[in-house]
A and B are shown apart, each in its own frame.
Chain A
């Protein structure tokens, strides 16, 4: 029983990261029509910024939660302005190829600099320790990650679906030319959206740093799983991305308990099944 709850908890944590990463991908895709292959590398960069702040400058976790997304998001803005912006008139596949190349460059540079073994990152003192719930032991940091990512996801959902800013965003997703005609600076909105999506990945990276080790390749395989999550959920709905992310994390956790051999592949298997019966994804619509 202990083990089952333990795996469920790990599943929820993984799900929290899937949700945050697929949310960022979905927001970027909605406006830019680009699948950001660098997302995994940017998640890794977030973790590295946090590690760098702590070990080199002595700046702790809470500041890193704020600084890392801004730094990595700014890098994202530069990438968008200097490179991606040239590709909007072309086939969307070029965006995928460009960001794939960038991911290789970034991961290669980090591996040159830091090697491929993981670097440890301490859990902040306020979040150390755990609670004994009777049926399981709950480390406080892990509970924090789940709660914090839920808050982040739901805030994003609220901003996009319920505020005026979000309504501009949704309108620009539907018809950018028309929105621009109404006097809204769509190119700037695109840039900031990309920066925001990338920042979300970096935030997930900071939160992941104390759980997984900080490693140049920590995002490389993760991003492929997140792609599968995105295919399963369909990118049409923000809430859909959040639910699919957490749901698949739990499915993965349960698989680890009941049939560990399949835990690496279960999300891909789910993807295959969903594609057979609902090609547009659980929450998606055909485009």
Chain B
């Protein structure tokens, strides 16, 4: 079934457009630090873009709204930071370990949360994430309010010194692009098609013989793992793993990025993440107004702008052509 879809004429055109857009994105990001855009900003945005893409895999294509994705970002960050700092692992191993930890947590939480649907699913993930927050607050290895500070960036594969900002930047970019292509691949695989079918009509997918729960769990674990990759990378970049990343506001933020960029679109979460991170660094001096503005964007998106930036652009493009 999937092959007939991808080989049709408009689908092939869409795929070509997609590949061109990805290439453009990769080139723009690759030259960004050379032309003087602050690399730390882009690295931060890239980590959140990956986080949002991972989240979008679950919400946009699986129809599952997790309100606790901060637990995967934060868990991976803590594990990665601890492994790099206390065990002296090289950065790639620390990142892998953190990612794996997030995936394992995702398997446990996912198995629990998919027992309920819709709103309950959101509340359960939120509650479990809050439990993890208190766990990290109390357990000694995370150093509570201080977090794990001064995490060494180390040498990638024991060779490349990530203390060099350019080395760090291109490492983050490579991780992001690989994960982005991986997510694209998942979405356009037979697995992704079944996932969309379950999102549209779960009883029908079940009646066609698909084990919906298994597909949903797999999607949940994949999403958690990729969110973990973002969190672990972020810990190495900022040399810090802190409670901010496990707090529920972070879960809300990733929902917002995805909603603003366009859920269920490939590029939406990336654009949403860049916009939100830019907005936050721009408004950093305004204190609590950030919360008010973030909340207002939520409200506006839901009321007037449900397809998000990329979704609206795509709809406009379709209208303009016909």
B291 touches A104 (CB 8 A): yes
Contact assessment for B138 and A97 in the assembled complex, using a CB-CB cutoff below 8 Å: no
Shortest beta-carbon distance from B199 to chain A in Å = 11
Query: Known contacts being A93-B118, A93-B122, A108-B295, is A268 close to B252, with CB within 8 Å?
Result: no
In the assembled complex, the CB of A97 is this many whole angstroms from the nearest CB of chain B, namely: 5
A86–B259 CA distance with the chains assembled, in angstroms = 18
- Evaluate contact between B135 and A87: CB separation under 8 angstroms: no
Q: Is the CB of A231 within 8 A of B298?
A: no
Q: Is the CB of A101 within 8 A of B302?
A: yes
Tell me which residues across on chain A come within 8 A of B292, comparing CB atoms. 104-105, 108-109, 112
- Given contact pairs A98-B298, A101-B296, A275 touches B124 in the complex (Cβ within 8 A): yes
Q: Are the CB atoms of B134 and A265 closer together than 8 Å? A: yes
Q: Is the CB of B291 within 8 A of A108?
A: yes
Q: Say yes or no: is A272 at the interface (Cβ < 8 Å to chain B).
A: yes
Q: Could you tell me if A102 and B299 are in contact, using CB atoms closer than 8 angstroms?
A: yes
Chain A contacts for B120, CB-based, 8 A: 231
Chain B neighbourhood of A271, CB < 8 A: 124, 127-128
Q: Of residues 185 to 233 in A, which have CB atoms within 8 Å of B's CB atoms?
A: 221, 224-225, 227-228, 230-231
Asked if residues A112 and B287 are in contact (CB atoms below 8 Å), the reply is: yes
Say yes or no for B303: interface residue by CB 8 A criterion.
yes
Distance of A93 Cα from B122 Cα, bound (Å): 9
Q: Which residue of A lies closest to B300 (CB)?
A: A101
Residues 244-287 of chain A: 1 if any B CB is under 8 Å from the residue's CB, otherwise 0?
Answer: 00000000000000000100110011011001100100000000
Q: Mark B294-309, 1 if CB is under 8 A from A, else 0.
A: 1111110111001000
Are A102 and B291 also in contact (CB < 8 A) when A93-B118, A268-B128 are? no
- B112 touching A101, Cβ below 8 Å: no
**CB under 8 Å from chain A, chain B span 112-142:** 112, 115-116, 118-120, 122-124, 126-128, 130-131, 134-135, 137-138
Residues of chain B contacted by A108 (CB below 8 angstroms): 288-292, 294-295
B65, CB-defined interface residue at 8 Å: yes
Q: Which residues of B lie under 8 Å from residue A275 when comparing CB positions? A: 112, 115-116, 124
- Across the interface, name the chain A residue whose C-beta is closest to B121: A93
Asked whether, in the complex, the Cβ of B127 is within 8 Å of the Cβ of A105, the reply is no
- Min CB gap B237→A, angstroms: 27
The one of B112, B138, B303 in contact with A276, judged by C-beta atoms closer than 8 angstroms, is: B112
CB contacts under 8 Å to B, within A84-111, are: 86-87, 90, 92-94, 96-98, 100-109, 111
How far apart are A96's CB and chain B's nearest CB, in angstroms? Answer: 6
Closest to A272 in B: B112
B interface: dominant SS: helix
Please indicate the chain B residues that have their CB under 8 angstroms from the CB of A100 in the complex.
252, 255, 295, 298
A45 at the interface (CB under 8 A from B): no
**In the complex the two chains form, is A227's CB within 8 Å of B127's CB?**
yes
Whether A104 contacts B303 by the Cβ 8 Å rule is no
| Interfacial chain A residues near B295, Cβ < 8 Å | 100-106, 108
Q: Report yes or no: B127 in contact with A111, Cβ–Cβ below 8 A.
A: no
- CB of A279 within 8 A of CB of B116, answer yes
- Nearest CB on B from A140, distance (A): 32
Shortest CB distance A25–B (Å): 10
A228, B127: Cβ atoms under 8 Å? yes
Q: Are B288 and A268 within 8 A (Cβ)?
A: no
- Measured CA separation A221–B249 after assembly (Å): 11
CB distance from B301 to the nearest CB of A (A): 8
Collect the chain A residues with CB atoms within 8 Å of residue B127's CB.
224-225, 227-228, 231, 268, 271
Q: Tell yes or no: B210 within 8 A of A by CB.
A: no
In the bound assembly, the distance between CA atoms of A107 and B65 in angstroms comes to: 23
Interface residues of A in 123-171 (CB under 8 A from B): none
Determine whether the beta carbon of B303 is less than 8 Å from that of A111.
no
Contacts of B301 in A (CB 8 A): 97, 101
B112 touches A112 (CB 8 A): no
Cβ-defined contact, A111 with B135, below 8 A: no
Interface residues of B in 74-94 (CB under 8 A from A): none
Check A184 for interface membership: any CB of B closer than 8 A.
no
Of listed A94, A106, A276, residue having the most chain B CB within 10 A: A94
Q: Does B248 belong to the interface (CB within 8 Å)?
A: yes
Contact B296 A265 (CB under 8 A): no
Interface status of A27 (Cβ within 8 A of chain B): no
- Extra pairs beyond A97-B259, A98-B303, A102-B299 (14, CB < 8 Å): A29-B119, A94-B302, A94-B306, A101-B294, A101-B302, A104-B298, A105-B296, A224-B127, A225-B127, A231-B124, A261-B138, A265-B135, A268-B130, A275-B112
23 contacts between A and B (CB under 8 A): A35-B123, A83-B299, A93-B118, A93-B119, A97-B255, A98-B299, A100-B298, A101-B302, A104-B294, A106-B295, A108-B295, A111-B288, A228-B123, A228-B127, A230-B123, A231-B120, A265-B135, A268-B128, A268-B131, A268-B134, A271-B124, A275-B112, A275-B115
Closest 9 interchain pairs by CB? Answer: A101-B298, A104-B295, A108-B291, A105-B295, A268-B131, A108-B292, A228-B127, A279-B115, A264-B134
